[in-house]
Structures are given as structure tokens and as C-alpha cells.
Chain A
């Protein structure tokens, strides 16, 4: 077996040193009747055989890059520079552990410090942590943090929050003290959707959670919401599922957010069928001790040289155990490295340019879709995502188009089957979308809705 370096002679020598003749003498504490069960699984495979087997499975899937592609709703196909994937595969990054021995983990610790800085800059917040599993779990953590900060329990979720995020918040808090009040989605009316959140705030509210742009792609001015929330001593939690938007749009921090959570996949990370991704989590300095997750801080070593360490770790489970701010341990470090390398390649200039290309492409898409008889585009405002109303069931249309090799977007019914929006389709257009892709979509859609 190619991954096992011990030879039979080595094993015999080692057994002799230990003073045993059979390996199972080391398993003497295992109940005898249960030792060495028959396991009905295939035997050892060579590298070539494994490749053949897995490639066969992979080839049954329609890769995003092989077709006109407009699927978004929380995960986006962006171009990731080759440098990113090369650098994260350096063994010193890939095969390191969580940096608990800082003297030999400065590489990890420094990039985490850089990542925290970039995230804080991007979201315009004081401080960001080293990352969470993904945007949805970060959102649930934000709700619980708001309860600790405000000592109030009632969290209001906006209708424009990604339905998966809503489900994760509801699931995660079902056995905690939190009370979650979710507003219904109104993908066709962003103003009414926002007003419903404002109206739902009262003095018992710990936080309001609102996504921007919304799951239907609408861009919201959150300043009036922040004002009402703060007047009721509630925190404003802003979720961002498409962080590239922040190269063009006013930041959550500037709009008055107290906690910002985000899905960082768009920067540096591929689609990967939903994971691993990288959750962003940022807040104001005064709340840092209530923050979940790992934090890296600057310090000096015994020679006075600058270095970095994990810090404020008494918030965490390995010390606080049942009183920890969260049970999170392993997070998404390598995905945060991919994020930070891609952000470094972009810089502010590149990020702003990237955001503009996304927006412009989506404007082109909107114009093209508006020209199809029977299709209504619902967005007045948007970044790189649109919701359209079709004259028939959107899921059927998407499946029909997939057969012809066009991945047209996400039917709203896939996101939330009970919301009664079966005729709505959510489409995203990133910098990867070409004019030919849009033409192929328009032609296929035109045919499908007739």
C-alpha cells in the first residue's frame, strides 16, 4: 500500500520490541467478539484505478465552465487566478495544523492577520475573526452573539435573507434561548420587504438580520433600518453572500452595521458543489470579547521581533468549555488563505474593476432579458444578480434549458418551495459571462417560454 511506509520486517521488529507476537494483542481491550469484523468494501486500488473510478463520477456532472452559466444565489463562479491554487497547495500551508505553536506557524498566523485586516477593510468594520465555516453558519453565530451583547432574545430575519441561511439560523437556535422571527420573502417588492423588517423591531429585539443585496438581487439602503434598530437597542446584522459587490457598493459598516457576516467564496474559492467555503465575521471593537471563532493578534517574541499569535482564546471551547462563545474549533483556514491571496492580487484597484465588470455584464443581461416577450425583470437595483418572472414554472424551464447545455439560474422554488414563487428565476452574471453566453441564454429562454 503506497501510503504505508512500514515493511513486514519493520513490523516484526517493532512487535518484538513491544514484546508481542500478534498485532491483535494490542487490541486486547476491544471486545473479542467484535474484533476484525467482515467488512464488505472493495480492496486496495492503485492511483491509476482511483483516478479512473472518480473521473467516471466527475464526468457525469455538468461543469460550470463548460456551459453558459448563470447560477448564483449564494455561490458564484468567478475567475480565480492560477497563482491562488498553486500557493495554497504549498505543503507548508496545506499540511500545517492550527497554529498553536506560533514559533513554527508564523506563515499561517501572518496570513490570518492579513486576512482579518482585509475582511475588516472590505466590510468597513473594526475587527474581523479568522473565519467561520461559511456564510450561513456565520449568520447563526451572529444571532447568538447579538443575544449575548444585548441580553435580549428576539432576532428578526428579513425576507430577503437567503432561505438556506434562514433555515440554518432556525435550526441552530432551536435549542438555545433565541427566538427567531423570520419575515416571508417578497422577491418582487424589495421596499415592502425592508419595511416589514423595520415594522417587526421592538424593544425586545436583539438583532435584525438583513442580506444585501437580497437573495433576489435587490440593493438596499440599510441606513433607515440601522436607525430604527439602534433606537430599540437592537444590533444590525448584515449578511453579504456576494462579497465582490463591496468593490462597488457602500459598505455595511458605512450603513451602520454592528455585525457583518459574509460568504467569502467569491474571492479565491471555487464552487466545489457548496463547500468548503469561508465564512466572514466582523464587528465593532467593543464587542470583540463576545465574538465567536479564532483571532490572531500581533505581538513580539523574546528578541523583540514582531510576530503573531492566536489571542483572546479564553472565549473559545478548548478553554471555556461549556461557557465558550461558540463550539467552533476547526474553521476554514486554507479557504481564507485562498481569499487573502486573491485579494492581494486584486488590491483595491482590481477589486473595484472586477465589481464594475460584474455589474456591467449584469446590466447587459438585464437588457437582453427585458427584450424577451413574457419575461419580467423584477429588479430596479441590483449588483450582479437579477430575479425574473416567467410565464411558467421556473424549475421546469431551468431543467429544460439544462438539457440543451445552458445553466440558467436558480428557480426560487428550489430556494424556498413553500414561498409560492414558483414562477421566479434568480440569475447571476459574473465577469465569466460572455456576450455569446447571454445570446445562448436568450435564445433558449425565448424558445422555452413560448
Chain B
């Protein structure tokens, strides 16, 4: 059998410290308010909106009226506000503190971006309005495209992909279209073993077989092994740079040359572009396609798991295969939107209805304009400086996986926890009690018990020093045998560890009324 695992231990652990010997009568614990589901609070007769009563009238829906109960519970407006306010307080967000989730780039989300995206001229326009009535929207897309192309030194960009994984799909489809256009039926995509899971998933989605390339002891792609694997069956190589170990692939140009010599394309996963804004352009390194995550690098909020936005920049070799739609200049200087292929077009098609994540474009451009070219460069330098500062302050008590300098994130493994009985998971959960969101754990898969820490440029030195104090304290406590601090952590969160085995063995994926269950 194969192992395809993150290796996180997941057994729920019972017990935990109590701070009082009694429970409240309400079930609340002070500011920590217990909140039922809306289906337990509301009912189908309650509503929080005022809608005109049309009375009964003859319907024109072909006799297909909905007669069965829908079952959606309503709440009054005050109760709705209270319900979601209470839920929000069970969450941790960047607004609350350091969010060092490696590879996820949880940087500050400026509220100016939110305000700009809500201007009626952006937020209240329809994707199929006449083009003459949305010239400002097309202008914004052009301006964003210019920023993305200039920062990467690439000649073309497709804005429409809806998230990073969708961007990968866009890039790999363009690659496959380019190979097919020249009658080349290559079958294989090479990914390093440290790749994000989306990379092999995307390659498989485009009908490719995935071959893994090993890493070197220094945390980078094994270029000799890569060259060995490159032949005329390889369509593309997908590499994250800076890579998921937080390191810059120092042999990247050699890698690009080898890829091109084999007739393959170089796909760069740009998830970590935040480290190199204004510092180096992927186009200068031989990249053929790279997606951005606007929700990482350019601060559009993660929103608890999206929406994202994943524009892709292309080299000259691929740009003719970029997807629809795209903005182009019309005859009279106005902007046009190319929505359908015309005779002779070699586009690989359309990835989404309409034109992509306009709301995210506005936010990302707002972030870029605010920083300017000088500020973006400074942001990258600060992100890298902060990660190296953490590395320098922690490596005597935690085990740094690779020799620095690192880029925007620092990778540790669990060697420093050897024989302490404390696992990476325990360590992460103890960070919750310290008031932090845990770092990325058990990723990348290339080191044992990985802990990937990314501070971003948004933390002050005070915040970094506080965080370092907690991390050092935890590391020393683990080594000193203070296992209680870890084994049932978190103690102070809204919930203790959750039983994921129960959830998976007996999936309850929706509310059902007790009498229907």
C-alpha cells in the first residue's frame, strides 16, 4: 500500500484543566458565548426583512409550484446580528494577532481596499452590461495587468482564474494547448516532492502523469535528478519559487535552461511571490507561466477560505494560448472585452463565466497603488528580514531544517522535540493557548514534523519579539518535560481538541430536525 499522508496524529484527547468547579446556568462562559445553530434558534415563519405582500395571484411558472416545506429557519434582524457576532468571536483572524501560517501569507488586510471594492462603480456593475458603460472597470483590469506584468517581467496575463489552484489549471492548460498546437503529445509533468498538493492534482486534471523529483539535502530541487528525468516526454516542470521550504531555488536559471532544452515549459507556482516583489522578476529567470494568489501576496482577505483570485502571467511562448476573456484596446482608444474566440485564435477557452474576480482586482490594485513600486520592494524586504530574524532568534532552541538565509518563511522540524513526548501537533495547539494561530504544520512533507513559520511584513518588532518569547518558552518547556502544557492543549480556546475520527466515521454534514434524524 502507498502512504499519502500529512501524518498528523488526530486522536482526540480527553481531559483538560478546569478553571472553575461549576458551569454557568446559561451554558455561556462570560464573554465566551455558546451559540446554537440558526435552525435551533429560528423557524420558518420568522423573517428579518420587510418584503411587500403580493397576495395571491396567478403564477406563470408552468404549474411547477414549490409545495413542500423548504425548512430554512429565519431570524429577526437583531437576532441575526447577534448570532453572527457571537460566531465571529469564536474565530482567530489577522486582525487579532500574529498569524504565522507558512505558505499562506496572512498579511494585514487594509480596509481601504474594502472601501474601494464597494464603490458602486465597481461593486454594483453587471458583467454583461454594455462595454461602453464599464470603461472604468476595463481600465482597472488593464492597470492591474500592467502591474502584474511589470513586477514579473512577463508579456501577458490572464486575470480570470478564481484562485491559486484555478490559476495552476490555467497555466497547465495553456502549456498543454501549446504542445498540442505543435503536434507534441507529451505525457508527464515533473513536480518536486515538496510541492503544494494542488500541483499534482492540477497536472492530473489536465491528463498528465505526475513524476516526483527528489530534493537535495539543502532543501532545494535536485537539479541533477531533474535533468535526468527531463526528456521529450516531459511537458512541463512545476516548481514553487521561493519554494515551500522558504528557500530561493538558487539554480533556477540552470533549471529553466534544462527545461527549455528538453522542449518543456517552466511553470512557477507563485504562492510565495510576496518574498520577491520588486526584488527579482520571474520573467528574467526563464519562467513560462506563473500564477499569483492575490489573496496572499496582494492582501485581499482570505475570508475564512476565500474568495481568492489567481491571475497567471505568461511568456511569449504561451501567451497565444491564454484563456478568454481579456481586455484589448479598441480602434477609437476605448477598451474592448474579447469574450469569444474568433477565427484563427489559439486560446484554450474559458475558465469561468464572466470575467473573474473583479472585487479582488480592485482590492489588489488598491494595495499595489498604496505601496507603489518602492513600497512593494520594502514589503518584500521586511517580510524576508522578519523571517530571518525569527530564524536567528529561534534556531538555538528549535531545529532549523535548512541553512539560511531563508526567504519570507522559516522551516523547522520536530528534531528538537525528540524524546519529549511532544509532537508538532501538540506544539501547534500550545501556540493557541499563547494567543497565536499555529504555524503551518506537517507541510512540506520533506522534513519530519514540519513547522513552517511566516511572519509577513505586517508585524512590528514588538509583535515579533513577543511571538519569539512564546515560541522559545514553549520549546524550552517541552525540553524540560512540562508535557501538561502540550498534551491536552489548547486549554483556553473556545473548544478543546475535536474528534475528527468521529466526524469522518459518522459524517453529519447538515442539520436535520430531531424528528427526522
Contacts and interface: CB of A to CB of B under 8 A. Distances in A.
A96 interface: yes
B414 to A, nearest CB: 18
Nearest to B354: A274
A402 B130 contact: yes
B19 interface: no
A45 B147 CA distance: 15
Contact of B35 (A53, A110, A133): A110
A71 B457 CA distance: 43
B319 interface: no
Interface string A29-59: 1110011110111111101011101111111
Contacts of A18: 385, 388-389, 391-392, 405
Contact of B203 (A59, A322, A363): A322
Interface stretch (B225-233, B416-424, B470-478, B487-495): B487-495
B449 to A, nearest CB: 16
B24 interface: no
B348 A171 contact: yes
B353 A327 contact: no
Nearest to A71: B126
Contacts of A335: 303, 306-307
A56 B369 CA distance: 14
Interface string B242-255: 00000111101100
Given A247-B66, A275-B352, A83 B80 contact: yes
B79 to A, nearest CB: 9
B74 interface: yes
Contacts of A98: 302, 304-306
A40 B99 CA distance: 32
B91 A39 contact: no
Contacts of A382: 60-61
17 contacts: A1-B370, A4-B378, A34-B285, A45-B369, A55-B119, A63-B124, A65-B120, A95-B94, A97-B99, A99-B304, A105-B90, A107-B87, A220-B62, A273-B134, A301-B499, A303-B16, A345-B80
A91 B99 CA distance: 13
A121 B71 contact: yes
A4 B457 contact: yes
Instruction: Using C-beta atoms within 8 Å of the partner chain, give the interface range for chain B.
Output: 35 or more
Interface string B88-122: 11111111100101001010111010111111111
B276 interface: yes
Interface stretch (A152-160, A195-203, A353-361, A437-445): A353-361
B124 A381 contact: no
B75 A344 contact: yes
A250 B121 CA distance: 36
Contacts of A97: 99, 101, 104, 106, 302, 304-305, 437
Given A99-B304, A124-B68, A360 B437 contact: no
B86 to A, nearest CB: 8
Contacts of B381: 23
Contacts of A417: 340
A172 B351 contact: yes
Contacts of B124: 63-65, 77, 270-271
Given A134-B162, A164-B353, A332-B306, A299 B503 contact: yes
Contacts of A58: 116, 119-122, 136
Interface string B319-356: 00001100000000000000110000000111111111
A82 to B, nearest CB: 9
Contacts of B247: 29
B356 A83 contact: no
Contact of A61 (B39, B121, B151, B494): B121
B259 to A, nearest CB: 16
A11 interface: yes
Interface stretch (A181-189, A230-238, A310-318, A368-376): A310-318
